[in-house]
Structure 1
Amino acid sequence: MTAALVASPGTSVLADDALLAEWDDLADRVGAGPFQRPGWYRAWWSAFGTSSVRLVQVRREGRLAGVLPVTRRWGRVTTLDNWHSFLCGPLAEDAATRSSLVDRAISAAGLSADLGHLGSDDAEHVAALAADRGCRVRRSMIQRSPYVPLDGTFDAYRSGLSSKFVGRIRSRRRKLEQSGELRLVVHTAPDEVEPALRELLRIENLGWKAEQGSSILAQASTHRFYRSVAGWAATAGLLELSLLTLGGRAIAGELALVDGQSHYGLKMGIDPGFRAAGPGFILAHDLIERSFSQGLATFEFMGSASEDKMRWTGETRCIEQVRLFPPTVGGRAARLAGLGETAGRRAGTVAGRLADRPVRAIGAVVSRGSRSGDRTPQTGADGPGPAPS
């Protein structure tokens, strides 16, 4: 088994068709989700990428056994992810291969390495391996993402929801149906994508999202990303673009990836003119029902655990980031620089609180802090132990 970091200028490493075919084959073998496939990373990099992509590879007898795309700039290694990502991390056919990928990424990091959007098992593995290699490790929660386990039947699942919530959806559906035919139209064919996507983008750009600049159309990079994702996913047979129509007019829609195991809701849009009628809840209800009928394992809401999403489920996935600092002079300097920034922010907060206090009150606070400091052992930012010098 050999591990290598392949560096290519620009995005050429994501343009090697033979390599990408091997990558997709590996994803098929291990049952990976769409967010670890080369098509997803190509779309992501075309929208958000800078510098050059480097590909950590592990091969067994010439066969691709593991892959992890990263960037390396000024001694910092980072994975290709942001708030539009879901579960990423090392793609490997076994634990030994995953360890080799992480080892190679660590060895390429002169100052630090950030591995983001990891599931809890991956985060635990990466953190433990890095600690064994002498790295200082910081593990943090990015978000808790709600999902519905699709066990049993849809009727049994719905019976476990709040009867008041389900009754409200039924009454809103009946009220909308008084104005016209209410239909769920799901587009999957590549030739259907463009007009349906335009309609979804129009709806998603209405109301508060447009006002806050958080819609897909608000930023050119985000627009380019989701268009690229839709094009790739439609060709790969992973796209479901759903529109809830009333009398032929779209009033809500969702862009999703569906891979035979899970439904991943990437983006949803609602016409604010119909918000009081709850088309988003009706759409979610019908899509969950559809996912049950497709025999999927989970319905993934994605994003954070908002109150509206948690009406449907009590389950969430922990999505984490692991930041590690190698046992080098550069790694120690990078960690201490981060501690300095944190201390500076804390000092600024304390200064702001004290700014308007009388001098005597400030003296009392400083005096109390000095006395408590004499009694309290020092603690480093990474856990108990001596404070960094």
Structure 2
Amino acid sequence: MEESPITDAMLGRRVPTRPCDNAPRVWRQAARRPGRRAEPLRVAEVRDLAGFDALEAEWNALVTRVDDQVFYRHEFVRCWLEHFASGATLRILTARNATGDLVAVLGLQEQEGHQYGVPVRQLLSLTNKHSCRFDLLAEEPKQASAAFLSHLMGDPDWDVLRLSDVPEDGAAWALMHAARGAGMPWGAWPSARSPYLPLPSTVEAWTKGRSNAKPLRRRRRRLEEKGRVEVERVSGSEGLEARLEEAFALEQSGWKAQQGTAIAQAEHRRGFYTSLARMAADRGWLGLYFLRLDSRPIAFQYGLEYGDRYLAMKPGYDESLGEVSPGHLLTESLIQDFIGKGLKELDLLGDDAPYKREWTREVRQHHWLFIYRDTLVGQALQRSKFRWAPVAKRMVGRWVRRR
């Protein structure tokens, strides 16, 4: 459904704006029977891992009903919590209808932080750059948003609610609409623009008109002159540990090691991607691909195959072979494999990097969403982030350009 925009006149007050106010606010909502009144929802909080674990079956059933993405599933979130937020103070909001069915979930954690040097009490989504995307899970986002905000407004122990990497058509935009309607300070920043490639039904249809087809054929021939080239797919648990070590070592051999962002350089990252691979292999979701030259790995793609999508989470390649583009050669082989298997999309995730744009022009815009308590502190925090800081940034930019 599409919500009609709320105007200042309708609210009878001046409403804070956000820098991306033209972003679509369309979200999925379960159809309601004609004449059926909305039942009041019972909101509760889950504050420990035991309570979170007890929700697994209901949580996944809700995901399946509202937006079946692997990043929203209980197993994925559990793996993320274990390695990136093991000591977090959980504030997972749940909503149940009159019959006790779980109809909405908003995964949050409580954390002390700072905004421009000011201490801030934050409610944050269970996310970081390794979680890819986040959303409110709700059969009826408008109703759930109203119930969750009403619950939070009765709690004075927070200043800002921040949800990271919400897609443009995400249900969490209903929270923003509810906050605006309630007169709460709010705002949103654009975050990742994630490229994705819709896949046709045949390889021939995909190959037709490709601008990089001929250059890659030449590079593949040059690589084949160096030795035997083959693609390996790892989807099960047999030999998985050794293959993961190969992938981690290959990634760490390049520029990511210099920046300190390679998986193997941090125990929590290594633990997350190892545990996620084991879990995915057990459920048939793992798609770990290698391009090998005489059995030596020269490129890999760590990803998940879920539903009709392949989700490309972590790539790596041997930079000493950069002249033949082993990463692109592997991607070309993967796309052919995905089309043969009947997948509908290659989701490249993350940021809009130039190498991803060699494969597609399509992107998904994500945003960070902010809701502040309607207090003097909350109003000041919202103004500092969405009014004063952008103005100061523009002024500094003009001064730098004039020098």
Task: Tell whether the structures are fold-level matches, with TM greater than 0.5.
Answer: yes
User: Given the alignment of the two structures, is residue 115 of structure 1 paired with residue 152 of structure 2, yes or no?
Assistant: no
Deviations 1:91-116 (A, max 9, x none): 12333454356535753573111011
Cα pair distance change 1:228/1:348, threshold 3 Å: farther
Task: Choose the corresponding residue for 1:4, options 14, 20, 43.
Answer: 43
Could you say which residue in structure 2 is the equivalent of 1:70? 108
**Are the structure 2 counterparts of residues 262 and 353 from structure 1 closer, same or farther at C-alpha, using a change threshold of 3 Å?**
closer
Q: 1:246, CA displacement in angstroms? A: 1.6
Check conservation: 1:118, 1:319, Cα contact below 8 A.
yes
Alignment of structure 1 residues 137-216 onto 2, 5 Å: 137-162=186-211, 165-216=212-263
What is aligned with 2:34? none
What does 1:363-378 align with in structure 2 at a 5 Å threshold?
none
- Give the fraction of aligned pairs with identical amino acids, expressed as a percent: 28
What is the TM-score when the length of structure 2 is the normalising length? Answer: 0.79
For structure 2, which runs of at least 5 residues remain unmatched after alignment? 1-39, 113-120
**Aligned pairs (5 A) from 1:1-389:** 1-9=40-48, 11-14=49-52, 16=53, 18-49=54-85, 50-60=87-97, 61-73=99-111, 75-96=121-142, 98-100=144-146, 102-103=148-149, 106-107=152-153, 108=155, 110-122=158-170, 124-162=173-211, 165-336=212-383, 338=385, 342=389, 346=393, 349=396
Greater alpha carbon shift after TM alignment, 212-221 vs 248-257: 212-221
TM-score by length of 1: 0.82
Instruction: Return the offset for 1:323.
Output: 0.7
- Greater Cα shift, 99-108 or 34-43: 99-108
TM-aligned CA deviation for residue 251 of structure 1: 0.9
Match of 2:372, as an amino acid? F
Of Structure 1 and Structure 2, which has the larger fraction of its residues in helix?
A: 1
Q: Call closer, same or farther: CA 1:231–1:98 in 2, change over 3 Å.
A: farther
Preserved CA contact (<8 Å) 1:55 1:67: yes
> Structure 2 vs 1, CA of residues 218 and 276 (structure 1 numbering), >3 Å: closer, same or farther?
same
The gaps in structure 1 that reach 5 residues or longer are 358-389
Deviations 1:139-184 (A, max 9, x none): 111021100011342221221321xx21111111122222332211
Task: Please state how far the C-alpha of 1:199 moved relative to its aligned partner.
Answer: 0.8
Could you say if the C-alpha distance between residues 353 and 285 of structure 1 is closer, same or farther in structure 2, counting changes exceeding 3 Å? Answer: closer
Q: Let me know the Cα RMSD of the aligned residues.
A: 2.7
Counterpart of 2:11 in structure 1 is none
